[in-house]
Amino acid sequence: MASTALAAVVVAPIIAPGPALEASVPGGPLDLEASVNEDPAVANAAIGGPITIVPQPTEPATSASGTSSMSSVTRVKRPDMPDGPRRIGIQIGHWDAEIAPPELGARIRTQTGTSWAGTNERDINRDIALRIKALLEPQGYIVDVLPVTLPTGYLADAFLSLHGDGDGTGENSGFKMAYSTRRTPYEAQLLAAIKETYGAATGLRYDSERVTRNMTGYFAHNWRRYQNATSPFTPSVILEMGYVSHAGDRALMTRKPDVLAKAIADGIVSFLGAHPRDTLFGKDLLVQQGRFRLPQLP
């Protein structure tokens, strides 16, 4: 994910161009209802532009110490139950960042990923994303391979953003994962499923101490702020597959991409097997309120 331009040795790119990316089906705008206390200010907060939802008290919450405080939540109406094969979104980190929409900010357009020793992160991300797709589609899944810009309120049974890291020194090694808050309660299970299969297959150490705010607050998961983000009902995680700046990690990602792709695909399949659609999409989502801006539609 980091953008590091220390190319000690210039070599020809390892990864050849793959097939063109396919168009994806958008999930559609989110349908926000009133908070559970039916406050009119929240009830009228349709997705029509940037607004602020001010927390309203619902009922007292008692802490372990016996003190009481007021809590408030927003209810997000569950989507219509998807039909057909189960859908998986795989985002190629930094792919087509140059044409990201204005809502994501100008800075993202310059974030083209780590580059080290002639190897570009986003080429690795793309190569492995297409390999995951090739593994999953014969099993009956629909796989959307997505660039930086996601369809509005992207709805899927699982979503994974692929990245590679860089540390500027070539010393760090390992993989990292994260998910964001105020979303579906199933992100932790998706992360755990992929973490288990990926760690076992690659032998890489899980680098938990270097998980950053850019990962936990990843823009593609931030449905409260951006229109081009995953639906809060789409279990979504980000995976830093290794350090492009580390010789061993880089060799694993470029010379054994099928090992990485299969490990990731196996983790996703394991998660989906344990979480049917009526579990993922069967109930409204109650989100702890805070001051946040709803996405702005054109």
**From first to last of its 298 residues, what are the pLDDT tens digits of the chain?**
654 332 222 222 223 333 333 333 334 444 443 333 333 232 222 222 222 223 334 444 443 444 434 457 778 888 889 999 999 999 999 888 788 888 888 888 877 777 788 889 999 999 999 999 999 999 999 999 999 999 988 999 999 999 998 898 999 999 999 999 888 999 999 999 999 999 999 999 999 999 988 899 899 999 888 888 999 999 999 999 999 999 999 999 999 999 999 999 999 999 999 999 999 999 988 887 654 444 444 4
51 contact partners, CB below 8 Å, separation of at least 6: 45, 293, 294
Under 8 Å between Cβ of 206 and 174: yes
User: How many other β-carbons are positioned within 10 Å of the β-carbon of residue 289?
Assistant: 22
3-state class percentages of the chain: helix first, strand second, coil last, to nearest 5: 30, 20, 50
Cα(237)–Cα(222) distance, integer angstroms: 11
Domains, the chain, ordered by start = 32-78+283-288 (no CATH), 87-280 (3.40.630.40)
CA torsion through residues 262, 267, 268, 273, sign: positive
Secondary structure (3-state) at 285: strand
Q: Other C-beta atoms within 10 Å of 9: how many?
A: 7
Q: Provide the sign of the torsion angle of the four alpha carbons 181, 184, 185, 186, taken in this order.
A: negative
pLDDT of residue 42: 28
In the chain the beta strands, taken as DSSP E runs, fall at 32-35, 59-62, 68-71, 73-76, 87-92, 115-116, 119-120, 142-146, 158-165, 176-178, 236-243, 285-288
Q: DSSP 3-state assignment of 62?
A: strand
C-beta separation of 201 from 263 below 8 A:
yes
Distance CA 224, CA 226 (A): 6
Return d(Cα 160, Cα 239) in angstroms, integer: 7
Report the length, in residues, of the chain: 298
**pTM of this prediction?**
0.77
Q: How many whole angstroms separate alpha carbon 188 and alpha carbon 29?
A: 24
267: three-class secondary structure by DSSP = helix
Cβ count near 278 (within 10 Å): 9
Inter-residue contact 293 to 45 (CB < 8 Å): no
Tokens representing residue 114 in the block? 């780590």
Closest CA to 269 of 85, 146, 94, 57: 85
The Cα–Cα gap between 95 and 127 comes to 11
